[in-house]
């Protein structure tokens, strides 16, 4: 008897190919559409109905059943509210990391397993070998950064079929399988709202007021329209014209001020270390070992050593790293192997 796999089918090409590959590999496949968010935001219609129609078309084409799980309550509490609260406090959170930890590989995973799934699969670009999380083959699309906090018990029963392929191969496979999503564009914008800007989304939930943009000499050089929206390293969207470009290096939520510099090499913007808490590990770190360290999605990893403290850890870089943003995740790698990480302080 073939093993049962429940695959999260979002309506996009990646999860569609994941489902097709699993069926070809001989699994008994059931597709599940997660209804995480249906509300319209800032005049933008949430595309959930279009996504569901796409998922239904793929399931019908593959002759597999489709279930619908409604996780809107859980998603709002554990992902959306978490993100809004973090921005309100001046941080730069990563909702995709929290979604994978709390929804896809906890709430969704638990539901799938309770309904008879031997394995739970998604369309993530990552790999899982013997319960260990690895980078996806396509380094440009690799999503292991977002998955570093997935619960270990879920990892034992997780499958990432597209993680073994380059993105270009996934598109070709979609055409070979004649999937309805073969030419559907990749989703843009926020992971759960659709094509709406982060700024417009946050303005729906956070009270904001204009404040001063101050340079590293203490001079007021402009006005911002809400300090919560600006992130460390930001260059565009400051509304400060003339001369050299400005980079955000800090902000003070109590004073409602954003701090900038025109020096891209300034020590205010480039740090040789960081502190992280709320840590999560796949393997124990070695104090003298040099690891690959990634401080944001798709950033180029830099070398660093890890120093453990009682309830947090420090990363000391071999060279300075630009624009380290509190609230983002720092993920530690040994080659393609995910060692662990934490939330930047």
The reported pLDDT for the residue numbered 40 is 87
pLDDT tens track for 269-293: 999 999 999 999 999 999 899 999 9
Residues 110 and 256 grouped into a single domain: no
- Tell me what pLDDT residue 189 has: 58
Q: How many residues does the chain have?
A: 345
Q: Are residues 55 and 109 in the same domain?
A: yes
Q: Do 229 and 291 belong to one domain? A: no
Q: Is residue 115 part of a domain?
A: yes
Residues 6+ apart with CB under 8 A from 121: 5, 6, 7, 8, 18, 19, 22, 158, 159, 160, 161
For the stretch 50-77, pLDDT in tens is 999 999 999 999 999 999 999 999 999 9
Same domain, 15 and 136: yes
2 — pLDDT class (breaks 50, 70, 90):
confident
196 domain residue, yes or no: no
CATH number of the domain that 216 lies in?
Answer: 2.30.30.280
State residue 192's pLDDT score.
Answer: 60
- The reply to whether 219 and 105 lie within a common domain is no
Q: Are both 251 and 280 inside the same structural domain? A: no
Residue 19: the pLDDT is: 98
Q: Which of 70-84, 188-202, 320-334 has the lowest mean pLDDT?
A: 188-202
Round the average pLDDT of the chain to a whole number and report it. Answer: 94
Looking up tokens 């001046």 gives 90
Rounded to 5 degrees, φ, ψ at 318 are -75, -20
Active-site residue list: 99, 191
Distance CA 135, CA 333 (A): 9
Mean pLDDT of 318-342: 97
Q: Are 110 and 211 part of one and the same domain?
A: no
Give the C-alpha separation, 306 to 289, whole Å. 8
- What is residue 239's predicted lDDT score, i.e. its pLDDT? 83
Domain CATH for 289: 2.40.30.10
Helix ranges (H only) for 8-47 are: 13-24
- Read off the tokens for 226: 């809400």
Please name the residue that has the structure tokens 């003298």.
Answer: 288
Q: Is the pLDDT of residue 47 over 70?
A: yes
**166 vs 211: CA distance, rounded Å:** 45
Domain that holds residue 247: 207-261
Confidence of residue 295 (pLDDT cuts 50, 70, 90): very high
What does the pLDDT read at residue 136?
A: 98
Whether 328 and 296 have beta carbons less than 8 Å apart is answered as: yes
| CATH code assigned at 150 | 3.40.50.620
Query: Does the residue 191 lie in any domain?
Result: no
Q: How confident is the model at residue 304 (pLDDT cuts 50, 70, 90)?
A: very high
**Per mean pLDDT, which of 29-43, 174-188, 312-326 is the most reliable?**
312-326
- How many domains does the structure of the chain reveal? 3
Strands 312-322, 270-281: pairing kind: antiparallel
Cα dihedral 232, 291, 98, 47 in deg (nearest 10)? 80
Segment 165-168 long-range contacts (CB within 8 Å, at least 24 positions apart): 165/137, 165/138, 166/137, 166/138, 166/141, 167/125, 167/138, 167/140, 167/141
Statement to judge: residues 95 and 168 lie in one domain: yes
- pLDDT tens digits, residue range 214-234? 999 999 999 998 999 999 999
| Rounded Cα–Cα distance for residues 166 and 145 (Å) | 17
d(CA 266, CA 268): 5
Q: What percent of the chain has pLDDT over 70?
A: 97
Looking at the structure, tell me whether residues 250 and 295 fall in a common domain. Answer: no
pLDDT (0 to 100) of residue 1 = 63
Distances (CA, A) of 183 to 15, 63, 122, 220, 248: 14, 20, 19, 49, 38
* Pair 151, 9 in one domain: yes
How do residues 187-199 score in pLDDT, each as one tens digit?
Answer: 765 656 667 778 8
Contact 137, 327 (CB under 8 A): no
Tokens of 251: 């902000």
CA 138 distance to own-chain centroid: 16
pLDDT (average), residues 99-122: 98
| pLDDT (0 to 100) of residue 199 | 82
Q: What pLDDT shows up at residue 42? A: 79
- 257 has a pLDDT exceeding 90: yes
Same domain, 21 and 151: yes
Enter the pTM of the model. Answer: 0.95
Check whether 256 has a pLDDT greater than 60. Answer: yes
Q: Is residue 303 situated within a structural domain? A: yes
Q: Which residues of 228-254 are buried (b: 16+ CB within 10 A; e: fewer)?
A: bbbbbbbeeebebeeeeebbbbbbeee
Cα–Cα dist 339/282, whole Å: 5
The stretch 117-140 carries a mean pLDDT of 97
* 43 and 119 belong to one structural domain: yes
**What local confidence, expressed as pLDDT, does residue 71 receive?**
97
């Amino acid at each position: 008897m073939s093993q049962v796999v429940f695959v999260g089918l979002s309506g996009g090409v990646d999860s569609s190919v994941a489902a097709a590959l699993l069926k070809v590999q001989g699994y008994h496949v059931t597709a599940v559409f997660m209804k995480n968010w249906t509300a319209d935001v800032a005049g933008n219609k949430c595309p959930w109905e279009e996504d569901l129609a796409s998922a239904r078309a793929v399931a019908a084409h593959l002759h597999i059943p489709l279930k619908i799980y409604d996780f809107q309550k859980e998603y709002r509490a554990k992902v959306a509210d978490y993100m809004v609260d973090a921005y309100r406090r001046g941080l730069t959170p990563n909702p995709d990391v929290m979604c994978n930890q709390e929804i896809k590989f906890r709430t969704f995973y638990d539901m799938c397993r309770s309904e008879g799934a031997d394995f739970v699969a998604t369309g993530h670009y990552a790999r899982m070998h013997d319960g260990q999380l690895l980078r996806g083959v396509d380094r440009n699309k690799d999503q292991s950064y977002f998955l570093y906090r997935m619960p270990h018990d879920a990892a034992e029963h997780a499958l990432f079929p597209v993680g073994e392929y380059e993105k270009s191969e996934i598109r070709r496979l979609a055409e070979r399988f004649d999937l309805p999503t073969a030419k559907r564009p990749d989703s843009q914008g926020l992971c759960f709202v659709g094509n709406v800007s982060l700024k417009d989304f946050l303005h729906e939930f956070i009270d904001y007021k204009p404040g001063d943009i101050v340079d590293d000499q203490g001079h007021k050089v402009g006005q911002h329209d809400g300090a919560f929206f600006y992130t460390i390293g930001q260059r565009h969207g400051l509304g400060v014209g003339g001369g050299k470009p400005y980079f955000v290096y800090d902000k003070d939520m109590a004073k409602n001020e954003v701090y900038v510099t025109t020096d891209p090499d300034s020590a205010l913007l480039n740090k040789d270390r960081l502190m992280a808490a709320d840590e999560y590990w796949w393997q124990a770190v070695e104090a003298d070992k040099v690891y690959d360290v990634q401080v944001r999605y798709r950033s180029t990893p830099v070398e660093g050593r890890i120093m453990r403290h009682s309830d947090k850890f420090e990363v000391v870089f071999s060279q300075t790293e630009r624009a380290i943003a509190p609230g983002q995740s720092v993920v530690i790698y040994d080659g393609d192997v995910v060692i662990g990480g934490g939330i930047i302080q």
